[in-house]
Amino acid sequence: MTALQSVTGVRAARVRRTHRGVGGGVAPRITSHGAARAGRSAGAILAQAAVVLLLASFLTFALGAASGSDPAAVALGDMATPEDVARLNAEFGLDRPFLERYVAWLAQALTGDLGRSWFTGIPVSQSIGAALPVSLSIAAGATLVALLLGGVTGVVAAVRRGTWIDRAVTAGNAALATIPAFVAGIVLILLFAYAIPLFPVGGYVPPQVSVAAWLGCLVLPALALSLDAAADLSRQLRTSLVGALDENYIIGARVHGLGGARIVWGHALPNALGPALATLGVHVPRLVGGAVITEAVFGMPGLGRLARTSAVQGDVPVVQGVLLVSAAIVVVSGIVVNLVLARVSPTERSAA
């Protein structure tokens, strides 16, 4: 996961250094050389993602094996004989060598079979399937809020640069970037669930039950998780948009009598979006991982609660499954971010 985030950061820096151009121009012609280069870039991203996911799976399984949990002794009680413990351990496959168990577990995981809970007997994939929509809803909501909040404030600050609005947005971004998500969550609960009771204090309502209630229970956790990403997005968009507005083609557009709104939205903003999207892309894996922590503050039955409850019980298969699925989500989000950045990067487009 760290390797994927570092690749995303490198692409973000590359976009910030090179993103220039004239809005509204003719789309570049895609050549065979550009297509081959894009294919190699996508292949490298996928190969690195596969390596990261393989390492994550090995570490996840190794941590579970090193936990020392003995499900047979717990399930059978203190009166169990060594023969009974050995029989149940053989049933769980714990009597086999570590590498043999890892390979078998990984092969089953690739087919969607993450084993069964040691204590309930419920398939791990079924438990994760019930909790995963909660965490994904929070992460998706936080990404959307960060995009809207950071995008609007960044554009306003750039257009009103040097004014009190610009200074207020800059100060607000500096403050929001220092607030941890769990602290923001507690403050939002006190403010909008008790002082001004607009949203529920916690819990989760599936969208198939009520879309309005589902959206209502996501507002506070998504907002709490999004603040840091929104602040970084706003700062980067303001910087890149100010730079775009000082380009010669913008000056030429003003000379030709184009309106301010058309210049900003039609010419400057499209050329300033690359660095801003790169900044947001760096935060996407963090938002996915942060959803697991944020849901604990709001008492939502997501992957965080499932992992915490299973860890307390010593239910290793469930913990391993949650960690593997969380790592896979972060890896997949990193792949998507890197592929999008490869498309919006001017170096990739010019090569095509």
pLDDT in tens, 138-177: 989 998 999 899 989 988 888 888 899 989 999 998 988 8
Q: How many CB atoms within 10 Å of residue 301?
A: 16
Q: Which residue has the tokens 């065979």?
A: 32
- Above 80 in pLDDT, residue 282? no
Which pLDDT score is estimated for 168?
93
**What number of helices (H) and strands (E) belong to the chain?**
15, 0
Burial class (CB in 10 A: 0-12, 13-18, 19+), 203: exposed
- 41 pLDDT band (50/70/90 cuts)? low
> Looking at beta carbons, which pairs linking 143-149 to residues 24 or more positions away fall under 8 Å?
143/226, 143/229, 143/280, 143/284, 143/287, 144/222, 145/222, 145/223, 145/226, 145/230, 146/226, 146/229, 146/230, 146/233, 146/280, 146/283, 146/287, 147/233, 147/280, 149/226, 149/230, 149/234
- pLDDT over 70, % of the chain: 79
Reported pTM = 0.74
Listed residue (328, 345, 268, 334) closest to 23, CA to CA: 268
DSSP SS3 for 232: helix
- Above 50 in pLDDT, residue 112? yes
Average pLDDT, the chain: 78
